[in-house]
Structure 1
Amino acid sequence: MFRTAEIPKEASRTSTWTNLIGGIKIVRSTGASSTLSFAAEDSSGTEGFVMSGHAAYNAGIGGPIYQPTTLRLVSYVDDIGGYYADAAWVEATNVQPQVYHTDTDILKDVTNFEDTTDGSKVYMSGITSGKQTGYVIDDYIQVTSPTFGTLYRQFKADYTSAGGDSGAPVYKLTPDGVKIVGVNWGYTVNYSYFSPISGVIYDLGVEPIEV
C-alpha cells in the first residue's frame, strides 16, 4: 500500500512534518541531525518515537529534540538504550505509524514488527542516503560502539548508510506496508549496522505502533 502526503509542505524528509513519522529529519540543540526511527508506545499506551541512541546520548536525558530545525521543539529525550540497542525513547503525542519510504513523498504504513534473519532483504530510509536496499549478512553479533562500548545481538547488512542516517528505520516490505525490523546506527566502508527491534523493545520497553 502506498500513501502520498496531501499537504504540500510535507514534500521531503527535511520538511516540517505535523505528524512525526519514520525516516524524517530531527535535530538536537546543537543543530546536529539524525533520522527519526518510528512511532512507538510503551506498555501504558503512552505514545512517542524512537530515535538514535547515540544522538540522544549527546543530548542527554531531558535534552530537547527538534524537527526539522532548532526553531521547532517537538519533545525531550526520556530514555536511552545502549545494551541491545543504539536507540532512545522520546514521548510525543503527534506521531503516526508510517515510514517515509522514498523521495517524491511516498509513505508506507507500519503493519508489523519482528526481528529479521540472516540473508533477508531489508530497506533503510535515512535523511542522508534516502531509501537504500541490502541484505543481512550477519545477525546477533557483538559490535563495538564508540558511544556505548559493546552492543550485543546486533545485525550487519550490506546496504549503504552515512552520517545523518543514524536512527533510520530498517524494515521489510509487506503487502500492506512495512514490517519494522530495527534501527540503523552505524556504518563502515562496505557495511552498515542496525539494532534489531527485539533489542529496542528490551532496552526501552516500547513497541512500534501499527496501523
Structure 2
Amino acid sequence: MKPHKIIVILLALMLAAIIFVPIVSASDDLSKESAIKNAETAYQKEIILAAFGRVPSEKLPYTDLRKIDSDPWYSSLRAVNSESDKELQKYYYPNGPMIGKGIDMKGSIVVMINKDWVVNQSVLKEIYEKISEQGRQKGIENIPCRFISMGLMETQATRTEQIRPVIGGTKVHMAGYYSTLGFVATDSSGNRGIVATGHMGSIGSSVYQPDPTVSGAFIGYKTTLGNTYSDSSWTQLTSGVTSNPKVYESASAYKTFNYWDDNPSGLTLYMSGVESGLTTGSTVYQANVWNDHYGKYIQNQWYATYSSATGDSGAPVYEKYSTGETVLVGIHVGRSNGTGYAIFSPVQGIRRDLNWITPLTG
C-alpha cells in the first residue's frame, strides 16, 4: 500500500474517534441529568409532614447514590439512623405511626409515617428529639430530618397466589373446584369469615386460598349456605388466618371497601374475578332467577352488563363514589345463557341468608 494512502486512512480513523467520543460523553451526561431530574420530581410527589434541622450548605440537592458509601456525611447519617432506632421502637408500627426510617438522596434522615395515621406534630417532635440527640453525640447539630406520609407495603402477588391477609377478588378452592373470594365479614359473635359462592362444595367442605397444593392455604370450613335470597356461603376463618376489608384489582392496586349497601345505586359496577380480572358495566334490572344448582328460584337477583367467565363466581361486585369511596353491593353468581347479562346477589340478600353477617369495611 502506498504511503499517502496509509496517511489518509489513519487521518480518517482519528477523525472518527474524535467525533465518536464526545457523542458518548454527551449521552452519558444527558442520561445522568435526566435521572437526577426524575429523582427530584419523584421526591417532590411525597407528602412532607414536617422537616427539622438543616442540610449542610455544601450538599447538592441530589446526591449520586453510587457515591454514598464513600461519602463521610452519609456515613454519619447512617450511624445516627442505626443508633436512634434503639430509642424509637415504641413509635414503630403496629404500635405507633412509624413504618420506616432511613436516609434520602438529599442528605437527610427520612422518617416514614403511616399515611392512615392522624398526624400529631408533638409526636413527630418527640421522634425528632431522639434522632437529634443521637446526632449531637456524633457531632452533628441540627441534623436534617424529613417526615413523609407513606402507605404500608402491599405484596404484589397475582390473585391466584396465596395472599395474606385474605381479601376479596382472589382465588379460593373447595371440593375440587376454584372460584373467587367475595369479601370478608363478621358474624353476630364478631368472628371473621369470608363470603363466597354457594354453588361450589357443601356444608363442611374445606376451603383454601388459593388451593390445597400450597402450604398453609387452608382457611376454614364452609359452615352456612345461602340459597333463598342469594347464591352465597359463609366460612369462618380458622385461627391464625388474617383478613382485610379489601378487594384485589391488580398486583399494585388493592381497594378498601369503605362502605357496603344493600343494593346497587345505579353507578358504574365493578366486578373483580379470578378469570376475568377487573370488569365494569351497569345494573339493568332485578328479578327472581332460576338456579339449576339448587333447582329453584333465587329471589331478587340483579342483572348487569359487566363481562365474566367461569371461575368468577363469588367475585365482589361494587361501586365507586365520586368522592373516592368504594362501596360493596354484592357478589357475582353467574350469567344469563346466550344473552350476555351477568347476574349478582345483592348484599341485602346475602345478609338475610347468612344470619345477618356484616361486611368488613375500613
TM-score w.r.t. the length of structure 2 is: 0.53
Residue 83 of structure 1: aligned partner: 228
**Which of 249, 264, 269 in structure 2 is aligned with 1:122?**
269
User: One-letter code of the match for 1:115?
Assistant: D
Between structures 1 and 2, the one with greater strand share: 1
User: One-letter code of the match for 2:274?
Assistant: I
The answer as to 2:242 corresponding to 1:100 is no
Q: Please list the CA deviations of residues 149-189 of structure 1 after superposition, one character each: whole Å capped at 9, or x if unmatched.
A: 20001000010011000000000113344111001000134
Is contact 1:109–1:176 with CA below 8 Å preserved after alignment? no
Is contact 1:118–1:137 with CA below 8 Å preserved after alignment? no
Instruction: List aligned pairs for 1:4-83, cutoff 5 A.
Output: 6=153, 8=155, 10-30=156-176, 32-55=177-200, 59-71=201-213, 72-83=217-228
Residue 75 of structure 2: aligned partner: none
Is contact 2:330–2:347 with CA below 8 Å preserved after alignment? yes
Go from structure 1 to structure 2 and tell me whether the alpha carbon gap of 1:7 and 1:60 turns closer, same or farther (over 3 Å shift): same
* Alpha-carbon distance between aligned partners in 1 of 2:284 and 2:267, rounded to the nearest angstrom: 8
> What 5-or-longer segments of structure 1 have no aligned partner?
none
* Alpha-carbon distance between aligned partners in 1 of 2:152 and 2:268, rounded to the nearest angstrom: 26
* Alpha-carbon distance between aligned partners in 1 of 2:210 and 2:266, rounded to the nearest angstrom: 35
> What 5-or-longer segments of structure 2 have no aligned partner?
1-114, 116-149
Residue 210 of structure 1: aligned partner: 361
Residue 311 of structure 2: aligned partner: 164
Residue 24 of structure 2: aligned partner: none
Is contact 1:37–1:50 with CA below 8 Å preserved after alignment? yes
Identical residues among aligned pairs (%): 34
Tell me which stretches of 4 or more aligned residues in structure 1 moved more than 2 Å. Answer: 3-8, 115-120, 174-177
Q: Please list the CA deviations of residues 105-153 of structure 1 after superposition, one character each: whole Å capped at 9, or x if unmatched.
A: 31011111113347432100000000010000002x1101111220001
Go from structure 1 to structure 2 and tell me whether the alpha carbon gap of 1:5 and 1:194 turns closer, same or farther (over 3 Å shift): farther
TM-score w.r.t. the length of structure 1 is: 0.90
Q: Please list the CA deviations of residues 3-62 of structure 1 after superposition, one character each: whole Å capped at 9, or x if unmatched.
A: 988354x411011112110000001141x110000000112211111000112xxx2111
Go from structure 1 to structure 2 and tell me whether the alpha carbon gap of 1:89 and 1:100 turns closer, same or farther (over 3 Å shift): same
Go from structure 1 to structure 2 and tell me whether the alpha carbon gap of 1:81 and 1:132 turns closer, same or farther (over 3 Å shift): same
Go from structure 1 to structure 2 and tell me whether the alpha carbon gap of 1:136 and 1:5 turns closer, same or farther (over 3 Å shift): farther
Q: Please list the CA deviations of residues 65-107 of structure 1 after superposition, one character each: whole Å capped at 9, or x if unmatched.
A: 1111213211110100000010100001522110112x23310
Residue 196 of structure 1: aligned partner: 346
- After the TM superposition, which of the residue ranges 34-43 and 91-100 deviates more from structure 2? 91-100
Q: Secondary structure in 1 aligned to 2:282?
A: strand
**Which of 98, 102, 111 in structure 1 is aligned with 2:258?**
111
Is contact 1:61–1:80 with CA below 8 Å preserved after alignment? yes
Whose RCO is larger (CA < 8 A, sep 6+)?
A: 1
* Alpha-carbon distance between aligned partners in 2 of 1:176 and 1:41, rounded to the nearest angstrom: 24
**Which of 104, 129, 132 in structure 1 is aligned with 2:279?**
132
Is contact 1:41–1:206 with CA below 8 Å preserved after alignment? yes
- After the TM superposition, which of the residue ranges 188-197 and 162-171 deviates more from structure 2? 188-197
Go from structure 1 to structure 2 and tell me whether the alpha carbon gap of 1:154 and 1:73 turns closer, same or farther (over 3 Å shift): same
Q: Secondary structure in 1 aligned to 2:207?
A: strand
Between structures 1 and 2, the one with greater helix share: 2
* Alpha-carbon distance between aligned partners in 2 of 1:167 and 1:77, rounded to the nearest angstrom: 14
